[in-house]
Structure 1
């Protein structure tokens, strides 16, 4: 069986050294993989193995996450994360791509889409909320006042395992590596600043919904129904603004790829393949 070659590197974006992973043919449809909290581009390693032979998959680490390095004095907010991702896209010379957004990837991706609607060929949305009904009581409480234990190993692990049907299918490597990065100097302060800024995303929900109604991009919504933060109502809500959105709700949790990659990867391959007039 042929496995894709995965390349790793850094791109300088106004002094931020953005680490990224890339797989797939250079002339294939680019897919920007936008990670969530508290993880980084490593969450897409298995997806890259599954789909990197057909599609050009590009996964950056945001400032404050993974291997990306920021200069002293960098101010952490979702606007600044979007600034850096926008600069990263421009540095790579991407002019048209699909994005896959998970969790924090939604707020980052929608900001970029608002600035450059001409860039966006399609959306794959995986537990990335843009609707009030997609916020659980736990999410609302966390947004109102981020708890002190938010960045502990117990909470990091729970985000992977809660809501799953078979925790044995979830490798411990993900939460272990996430916690390693969270424990680096300065990272908890960066994450606390982002947690306190999360309310800015909720305030922007109406603007993102208006963008969806105006542009109606081809949209694939994938959702773990056991998500402690974003209940499945948030998945179906996308159809209000993109009536043709394809929605799949799976019996798993927040990190749906961890348990349900064998079901999710073929759905993405077919969806992206059809954008190129192919059939998976």
Structure 2
């Protein structure tokens, strides 16, 4: 008699669009084994999109409900002509997306641009935030490298400023964001930066990124508010950080401990896209964090039952 194969817990993932305020938001959502599984909202960074979480969703999506949207100006999401690309607007659309899905309680994975988007959501609806997974998502002045400060200081009226931004949106610039600070570049799949560049080269996408680059200073203006929010609400937090990040330094990771002294901090010898090289180390940390911080039977609203917006 032939023995049955050993089950392998690989997630089943659906790919859908959802209309929010005229924006056709694309998202990936795993189907967990339990309809009441903990929910983790995955907020991607620049210049990427929800595809950066594909391997994490495969690894954890059978145990947890992982939901990864693309922001306007990124990935497969389609924004109308004339959409204003600011971080406030990205947060508006993400907030509407969360409401359309009926999520009332979830943890957030905030990476890079995901930090200013996610912390805006947290300010608006602190009751919804069950915890934070922070991966190279900065909220502190000391977390900005000199290169990051120089980039953020660019203004539309500064000669050569727009060219400096657009130079970062080329294939060498995109690839460099993945490779800088990574001791073992053979661990990096080239699909990440080539797919990012495909989306960056779509009509209008680089214009959107220029608008967001000039608006990034609005995030620094809110750092004090976000730090106050962290001190006031003290969400459970897991901090994972690539210390070779050319933009966001190790000091920014450690700074979270001032406001969240009970947070769990893990530093990795890698660059900005830490999941690309350290998924085997980071995924178990996330699973353990969700298991420890999610109360049994905690309501999330609208549990996944196989149907949803198309």
**TM bucket by the smaller chain?**
over 0.9
SS in 2 for 1:10: strand
Q: Residues 136 and 240 of structure 2 are in contact (CA less than 8 Å); yes or no, is this contact kept in structure 1?
A: yes
Deviation at 1:92, TM superposition (A): 0.1
Alignment of 1:86 with 2:95, yes or no, is yes
TM-score, normalised to structure 1, is 0.98
Runs of 4+ more than 3 Å apart: none
SS in 2 for 1:138: helix
Deviation at 1:72, TM superposition (A): 1.5
Which of 188-197 and 23-32 deviates more? 23-32
Structure 2 residue aligned with 1:7: 14
- The alignment covers a number of residue pairs equal to 278
Structure 2 residue aligned with 1:50: 59
Structure 1 residues without counterparts, runs of 5 or longer? none
Structure 2 residues without counterparts, runs of 5 or longer? 1-7, 155-160, 297-310
What RMSD in Å do the two structures reach over aligned CA positions?
1.0
Deviation at 1:108, TM superposition (A): 0.1
Structure 2 residue aligned with 1:219: 237
SS in 1 for 2:181: coil
Higher relative contact order (CA 8 A, sep 6+): 2
Structure 2 residue aligned with 1:248: 266
SS in 2 for 1:229: coil
Q: Residues 130 and 294 of structure 2 are in contact (CA less than 8 Å); yes or no, is this contact kept in structure 1?
A: no
Alignment of 1:176 with 2:222, yes or no, is no
Deviation at 1:150, TM superposition (A): 1.4
Structure 2 residue aligned with 1:120: 129
Q: Residues 136 and 241 of structure 2 are in contact (CA less than 8 Å); yes or no, is this contact kept in structure 1?
A: yes
Quote the Cα distance in structure 2 between the aligned partners of 1:216 and 1:176. 38
1:23-72 deviation line (CA, Å, top 9, x unaligned):
03232111000000000000000000111111100000000000000111
SS in 1 for 2:110: strand
SS in 2 for 1:237: helix
Structure 2 residue aligned with 1:207: 225
Rg larger in structure: 2
1:140-165 deviation line (CA, Å, top 9, x unaligned):
01111251411011110011111112
Structure 2 residue aligned with 1:135: 144
Alignment of 1:237 with 2:271, yes or no, is no
TM-score, normalised to structure 2, is 0.88
Alignment of 1:196 with 2:214, yes or no, is yes
Quote the Cα distance in structure 2 between the aligned partners of 1:160 and 1:97. 29
